[in-house]
Amino acid sequence: MTLSIDQSLDAAWSALPTKADASGWHSIPITRKADCTLLAARYLPDDEEALLFEFNSNISLAPSLVLPDAYGFKVIPVPEAARPRGVALSRKPGASKELFMLMATDIINMVAGTSYTDSSEIFGLVLNRIQAWQAFMKREQVRLTLEAELGLSGELECLFQLIISGLPALSAVQAWVGPLDGIQDFEIGHGAIEVKSTAATLGFIIKINSLDQLDDSLRTPVFLCGCRFSIKPEGTALPERIQKLRDHLSGSYGASVLFEHLLLQAGYLECHAPLYTRKFLLRELCYWRINENFPKLVPGNVAAGIRAARYEVDLNLPDLEESGIQEVLSMLGDDQNGAN
């Protein structure tokens, strides 16, 4: 019977010695990709479980390079003559083995699926993914709240619209900065799109969380993408929305990898997919340009001394003029001839 990646890791870690007369790294190969060998490892005498990366060609480990270090893991070079180009992702004492296993399995699967063959490219890919996990581990909750699940569903709908409307896959995913704590959710050309979602049964009322979200003084124009959902059996669950986008991004390796990084930074773990059973049916998706006629509170129109605000906007007002997606892309000044 063929073992899964996580089973192979667990079996290898269990087979490695926990006590030895000589200190150092003990390892068992798990898989190989081009110039990179991935090994289940244990460091003695500290008894640290790790995922070890051995490269056949040089990678950049300059003294100025800051390697990721989070609550449950650390990334360290392996200073052994037998492993001159080794790097270890090591679990810290007391950290969750289950979460570390998820991270290690995710990284192994990512490396196994990459089209990269150069050691430096693979190392960069691994570091980026570890940094995404680093951001995930800072979150207070493991799974998304209902509000966050709804918000992510809206951002994914907007991303899907951008792609099917002609924006190259990689450009569209690169524009998605919401998971990176961007002020607005998408930065395209010289402007931006802020996405707001609601599942309210009455009206089309959205929540604005800061004075900056609808501020067009730094990037212009800014558009609001409003998504009105209802919870219905015929709707689409969050994992289904994600899979639909994965299918559309499958022709662009760079877009696919970045998309997975952003999902993790947004708080979505694939192993939690069965938890997201709510089905959101998209009722409306509309765009409005944020201009002098749009109801908003921004730093430039509030009284002196007001530093923060949260408020609601009713999008059913009759004098709000909607924009089509092609008009939005044209006004944002996107480059639709970018690389995929």
Whether residue 248 is contained in a domain is answered as yes
Instruction: Tell me the pLDDT of the chain (340 aa) as tens digits.
Output: 566 888 888 899 888 887 766 678 889 999 988 888 999 998 888 888 999 998 887 776 655 556 667 778 888 888 765 566 788 999 988 888 888 998 999 999 889 888 888 888 888 889 889 888 888 887 766 789 999 999 999 999 999 999 999 999 999 999 999 999 899 999 999 999 999 999 988 889 999 999 999 999 989 999 999 999 999 999 999 999 999 999 999 888 889 989 999 999 999 988 889 999 999 999 999 999 999 989 999 999 999 999 999 999 999 888 888 999 999 999 998 654 444 4
Beta carbons of 195 and 185 less than 8 angstroms apart: yes
Q: Collapse the DSSP code of 166 into the 3-class scheme (helix H, G, I; strand E, B; otherwise coil) and give the result.
A: coil
Q: Is 233 found in the same domain as 188? A: yes
Q: Is 265 found in the same domain as 199? A: yes
Rounded Cα–Cα distance for residues 188 and 335 (Å): 9
Q: Is 162 found in the same domain as 72? A: no
Whether residue 161 is contained in a domain is answered as yes
pLDDT at 63: 53
Whether residue 218 is contained in a domain is answered as yes
Whether residue 303 is contained in a domain is answered as yes
Q: Is 118 found in the same domain as 153? A: no
Q: Is 241 found in the same domain as 213? A: yes
pLDDT at 60: 66
**Measured between alpha carbons, how far is residue 114 from residues 77, 109, 117, 243, 259 in Å?**
23, 9, 8, 18, 14
Single out the residue in 109, 137, 165 at which a domain terminates.
137
Residue with tokens 């944020």: 290
Round to the nearest angstrom and report the end-to-end CA distance of the chain: 39
Q: Is 180 found in the same domain as 221? A: yes
Rounded Cα–Cα distance for residues 181 and 31 (Å): 35
Q: Is 238 found in the same domain as 163? A: yes
Whether residue 337 is contained in a domain is answered as no
Whether residue 176 is contained in a domain is answered as yes
DSSP state of 185: S
Q: Is 131 found in the same domain as 170? A: no
Whether residue 29 is contained in a domain is answered as yes
Q: Is 159 found in the same domain as 120? A: no
Single out the residue in 118, 137, 156 at which a domain terminates.
137
Single out the residue in 107, 137, 167 at which a domain terminates.
137
pLDDT at 337: 43
pLDDT at 186: 98
Whether residue 338 is contained in a domain is answered as no
The CA angle 328-331-335, to the nearest 5 degrees, is: 95
pLDDT at 68: 67
Sheet holding 24-33, edge to edge: 24-33, 36-44, 48-55, 86-91, 73-77
Tell me which residue range forms the domain holding 171: 146-332
Q: Is 287 found in the same domain as 171? A: yes
- Among residues 258, 227, 240, the alpha carbon closest in space to that of 157 is found at 227
pLDDT at 205: 92
Q: Is 156 found in the same domain as 121? A: no
Element (H, E) at 11: helix 5-15
Q: What is the pTM of this model?
A: 0.82
DSSP state of 271: G
| E strand map for the chain | 24-33, 36-44, 48-55, 73-77, 86-91, 186-188, 191-198, 205-208, 222-237, 279-289, 311-314, 322-323
Q: Is 277 found in the same domain as 189? A: yes
State how many domains the chain has.
2
